[in-house]
Structure 1
Amino acid sequence: MDNSTFPFFFNLTMFVNIGQYRFIAFTFCLLLYGFILSANLLMIVVISQERTLHEPMYMFIALLSVNSLYGSTGFFPRFLTDLLSDTHLISRSACFAQIYIIYTYASYEMTFLGIMAYDRFVAICHPLHYNKKMTLRTVLKLSALAWLFPAFVLTVVISLSAKLPLCGNEIQKVFCANWNVVKLSCVTTAVNNIVGMFLTITTVFLPLLFVLYTYLRILLVCWKRSAVFKNRVLQSCLPHIISFVIYSITGFCDIALSRFNLEEINPFVAVMLSLEFVIIPPILNPLVYGLKLSEIRRHIIKLLSRGKR
């Protein structure tokens, strides 16, 4: 096998030449990254320090914030460097490392939203059994499963992709993506496609269907209950629903974009659609949970006011 089929570098071709505006774009993205870091760190600190927030729902929210930090740190430093660069070459090892981080971030987000839906389902549909079912042991088991399963499957997926001989090195993205690498293969990719489909079904569609199922059950429980009960349920579930809808839409945009011919789409629009899932959820999640859940909001205000003294 000729070594040329295993390129040392990939070329990210979707960067738009914006000339003198690159410094404005860099500053804007740097501010976004700074906000993501500070807002999610604040959520983690508040939830970890306040004993009244050491409940399953708030622990899962903290995990979402940890995942936001993880995914953003796997994307922004490299992206910020590329904004100021005239060339957009990334080494083979760095490319696959970025694929692993961004794809595990995306999978974790969906699996975490899935176990958060289960938590709300038990709290609303089986309130008398909530403390018995959602013990610390259960929370740790669910969290470990949500972390380890996507990590294992993605290790297999990326290992298979890394072994493919490639007939090119151009990736039509502003970050490395597994499907774009697989499309460069010189040989059949049937095994990669099957394993990739398994990953998509288990970390995207199954959590998606489970969340829809749990909220259907919650709706049935609320159907004949009082307006006060419905309002209490809405206040409890609304932040999760918002996070779920936002992530589903942004994730769908990136998946759908990979199936289009990008040469027929406005480059700026294509870049924006491909970046939504890695930028919007980490920004909105702390805002949604911090502003909508009164317990978190109260402790955030107390922590910030304590810091001003």
Structure 2
Amino acid sequence: MSMKTVKLGSQGAVVSREGLGCMGMSEFYGERNDEESTATLHRAIDLGVTFWDTADTYGIGDNEELLGKTLKTRRDEVFLATKFANHRKKEDPKFWEINGKPAYVHAACDASLKRLGIDYIDLYYQHRVDPNVPIEETVGAMAELVKAGKVKYLGLSEASPATIRRAHKVHPITALQTEYSLWERHVEAEILPTVRELGIGFVPYSPLGRGFLTATITKKEDLGPADFRAERYPRFSGEAFDKNQVLVERVKAIAEKKGVKAGQLALAWVLAKGEDLVPIPGTKRRKYLEENAAAAEIQLSAAEIAELEAAVPLDEIAGERYAPANLKSIDK
């Protein structure tokens, strides 16, 4: 299998049809295994999954350092995206703030370059919009990084249509990254039409519903003590877990009928929404990387797409996508 490439936005970026979300390699989704994660990174390159997504906040820098070890020998084979703005401190893990101040933008970029061991970042995202700093100031500082050769393309994450438009006037935005999957479709109303109008690529994160849509999490005990999903995401806890399990079973039944896995079908659904969408399913294991990559070969008919959407109706999805504190950080 050879993963095809597509244009991301209209500024010249070209990436693999599917990317790789690297967050779970270092934090939030259970115990770390840096050896397996490193093997997964190398396998991703071999499969042509070369659009990698990280952030300075994942593992409070550890994730960038982990990727940096692979990039030492294979930098030219990877289109690397990282992010700033979710400011955390190693010495105080509970400290967390959103920072879009221009001076911080420059300092964060330099710190990421050092941890990654590279001299430029392909795509640099503002991870969350700072409500206390005009987007024009933040993107103005990001544009200075482009001018300095430290960054090639600019991106935003979880930004509202109005913010996207304001940012795009300061410097062309190549990509918007926001959650999108069968069980989180809020972007369809306004956000997707906005980025398409402006020629901005769209990068769906959590296209597998943070793993729920794979049908491998069937009971709460499947989430280990180091897995933060039940704590951070209401859809994984309480009655919502059981209600959402019903929806996943429907997806699994459709997948079995088609001869694929539930997660592959959910990923194929996102891919079917257009080549301007480049999902970044996350994994730290080669087995799941290979399953996800194979989803790029699955073709869905209009009838199958409609069947999937009917199986996961929006009014039956239980629970908010984030806990209240995290929802506050989403740009409205």
User: What TM-score do the two structures reach when normalised by structure 1?
Assistant: 0.25
Higher helix share: 1
Q: Which has the larger radius of gyration?
A: 1
